[in-house]
Amino acid sequence: MKKQKTDQSHSKLTRRQLLKLGTVSCVAASFGGLGLERAFRPLPANAQPKPLEEKILTSACLNNCGSSCVLKPVVADGKVIRIETDNAIPDNWEEGLFQIRACPRGRSMRRQMYAENRLKKPMKQFGKRGDPSGFKPIPWDQALDEIAASLKKCIDTYGNESILSIYASGVQTGMMQRREAFYRLMNLLGGFALGRSDYSSAQNQAGLTYLYGQAGYSGNPVTEIANTKLAVFFGLNTTETRMSGGGLQFEILKAKQISNARLIVIDPRYSETCVTVADEWIPIRPGTDAALASALAYVLITENMLDNEFLKTHVQGFDADTMPEGAPENSAYKDYIMGTGYDKIAKTPEWAAQITGIPVARIIQLAREIGGAKPCFISQGWGLQRQAAGEMSTMSVAALATVTGNVGIHGGGNGDRDAYYPGFSPRLPRGDNKVSITFPTFLWLRAVENGKGMTATRDGVKGADKYPTDIKFIWNYAGNTLVNQHSDINETRRILGDKSKCEMIVVMDTHDTASAQWADILLPSTSYLEQTDIVGPSYAMNIDWLGFTTPVTPYEQSRPVYEVCVELAKRLGVEKEFTEGKTREQWLEWSYETQCRPFMPELPPTLEEARKVGVWRKAKLRSDLPIPFKAFRDDPQANPLKTPSGKIELFSPALLELSKTWELNKFKGDVIPPTPQYVSTWEGYEDTETKKLFPLQLIGHHYKGRTHSHYASVDWLLAVMPQNLWINPIDAKARGLRHGDTVKVLNKRGEVHIKVKVTKRIMPGVVSMPQGAWYNPESKNLDQNKNPIDQGGCVNTLTLYRASPLAKGNPQHTNLVEVVKL
């Protein structure tokens, strides 16, 4: 099992020779995977080259960037020779129609499909788990037999709660390609464990549920920037995360053209969003957004720039007059801000400047800009809540939107991430999961090591006081969370390496990922382009559309997940119930008639006719997108929130109760305050003890060259977007580093060797390693007790597996490290 190498198909021609070839080289290069040697092979005398017959198919990029854009694979000689994208209609933003254009990631999919590290056949680990050299090919029937036998044994011995479908997001839409096939199978067998929430936004969802009465995704749509003059983004980075023509970056550009709004980005790093749409970048230290929000609130209060009427009628706990009966004295949000609360510290701009690194004058001016803008679009990304006390960061930004009265109005924003209004996307019926006991997704590894020791008050178990069993079987489909995207890889390796704990790990994927190497059985999956399906938009695209895909020939022995689950159902005695007598094509026809046509009546009578067009869309006017909490804003009595009080709760009695009854750890910052506030945490900026050895704060930003770890091994993308550690010139000079030097980044958890990008685009004291790069340990240390050095630039070699206090979510941007020239 080898890692992908950069394509060398044209290595026999020098750059000068290529340039001399002129337009001929351009034509030859378009054949890509066919190779220039083949393209320029001498022809027999008097022979004419036979043109390749091209066929354009319909497909989509279904990974977890939120967009799911249209792809048009061009096939010749049985191979995809290039990828085109949506150009069927002209853009008409005002009428709610536009091209769903793929970004460079999706357009590079041919390189991914035919990469050297593509899985070709089923494999079994015959050596030590995690050893790449221990895999050997086995027949499909043997692989399926062993998986089915292990499933049955674990269910019979430990119960259905021992079967985990691990968090994965490599396939975000597509009726037949999602995880629903395995869910349907397991629900027919009595259910399975499925973690609660996700890695992206657990703290955001938990915190805002107590503030607003509903989980995240509740901010105003970014199209509302067209109705404001000031937009403030706390860590929101749509250009890199939603950068396609079908994604939200397009919406921001169009909205800003209409309003000419001033846009400020607050981020430790000068992101691509700063480059493309921002008017100002305000650098901030990681984990300190709540301190900034608190100081902004202080200025707003002292300079009387609040929406006092809104606070009186819509908010609980802003001040003593709006506190619930029986609440502790001096425990209102205003008490915390003004220094009359529990800590007796006024949250002045001077106080915040020392913590955030933002000058006092800029904090004061920003507060005045926000308070003076009527309305102000306030929004946040998810990076600031992936911290040790991320719930407080997300709630504090939302509190800022609350005190300024920007909740539930056009052009405003309640401080949450931009809202998503996806169109319909069909799904395979999954049935009911009879396993009702759940634990937070991020704690799946703890459930492997000691699931029976997990409790409701310590680990967030719901549905019972404690979890009934350990996880004994892991199904990992289309995901790299098993190892690569999970915290503290060396700790993860230790636990997964013990086969007495988890008895069977099945990975089904397209490529030999870092997680795939920890499988017991490894199954090759077909890719998006190799399956017939019905696809629709994901969660970050303001357009309604349906795509009816036409597949490319599957690669080697790869199979679709639905067909694999049919075979498992047959071996487990539930094939009839699983298929309901339908073939894959019949399921698609069922969906077309019962799901798609009711949603989009303008579709033709048959699925076959719909496939001839490929993509069907209907207008979604931006003016019709709902404003979250508008009904509550207009009439709070008739439309109360789902909080206990029916109001926005800047003081939450429920959180106060949790702080008394939950078993919280003794780590610095492991607290649950009843009001939004700044919390100093372990390995944060103020952890002076740890900083003696590891003085730099490390984050892992999203990178435009991949979606999480998807596309992380595509050679074309790596050539223009290499994996480097971002470091400020001040920190580089102090360590004798120059741009391009190789360094070791280390802390007590591990060591990574990587080249540095010396740039002023990241603030001093902070370094960033783009998240998602594939873990690639030195092979010489794999059989030793010493943790192997990672040469792939995977940030999770250095992150800590320690859940946040309320959501039990991932704190993967809270890290302290040192950087040393190698």
Q: Kindly indicate the confidence band of residue 381, based on its pLDDT and cuts at 50, 70 and 90.
A: very high
pLDDT tens-place string over residues 158-186: 999 999 999 998 998 899 999 999 999 99
Q: What is the average per-residue pLDDT within 636-645?
A: 98
CA distance readout (Å), 310 to 105, 147, 406: 45, 58, 9
Q: Kindly indicate the confidence band of residue 419, based on its pLDDT and cuts at 50, 70 and 90.
A: confident
pLDDT tens-place string over residues 246-294: 778 888 998 999 999 999 999 999 999 999 999 999 999 999 999 999 9
Please classify residue 639 by burial: count the beta carbons closer than 10 Å to its beta carbon, then call 0-12 exposed, 13-18 middle and 19+ buried.
middle
Question: For residues 44 and 65, which has the higher predicted lDDT (pLDDT)?
Answer: 65
Res. 485: pLDDT tops 70: yes
- Report the share of the chain in percent with pLDDT over 90: 83
Q: Kindly indicate the confidence band of residue 245, based on its pLDDT and cuts at 50, 70 and 90.
A: confident
pLDDT of residue 358: 98
Res. 678: pLDDT tops 90: yes
Locus of tokens 């010749």: 76
Q: What is the average per-residue pLDDT within 683-698?
A: 98
- Roughly what angle, to the nearest 10 degrees, separates helices 584-591 and 561-571? 120
pLDDT of residue 780: 61
CA dihedral (245, 251, 256, 262) positive or negative: negative
Q: What is the average per-residue pLDDT within 16-21?
A: 34
C-alpha span between 743 and 696 (Å, rounded): 14
Written as six digits, the tokens of 154 are 């674990």
Q: Kindly indicate the confidence band of residue 422, based on its pLDDT and cuts at 50, 70 and 90.
A: low
Res. 614: pLDDT tops 60: yes
Res. 8: pLDDT tops 50: no
Res. 218: pLDDT tops 90: no
For CATH 2.40.40.20, the residue range(s) in the chain are 688-821
The answer as to CATH 1.20.120.420 being correct for domain 688-821 is: no
Half-sphere exposure of 690 (CA within 13 A, CB side): 20
Vertex 412: Cα angle to 408 and 418 (nearest 5): 85
C-alpha span between 669 and 678 (Å, rounded): 10
pLDDT tens-place string over residues 54-73: 999 999 999 888 888 999 99
Fold of 212-421+627-661: Dimethylsulfoxide Reductase; domain 2 (3.40.228)
For CATH 3.40.228.10, the residue range(s) in the chain are 212-421+627-661
Query: What count of other Cβ atoms lies within 10 Å of the Cβ of residue 549?
Result: 28
pLDDT of residue 740: 98
- Report the share of the chain in percent with pLDDT over 70: 93
Which CATH number is associated with domain 123-194+437-528+556-604?
Answer: 3.40.50.740
Lowest mean pLDDT among 116-125, 412-421, 697-706, 813-822: 412-421
Question: For residues 9 and 394, which has the higher predicted lDDT (pLDDT)?
Answer: 394
pLDDT of residue 21: 33
Res. 346: pLDDT tops 80: yes
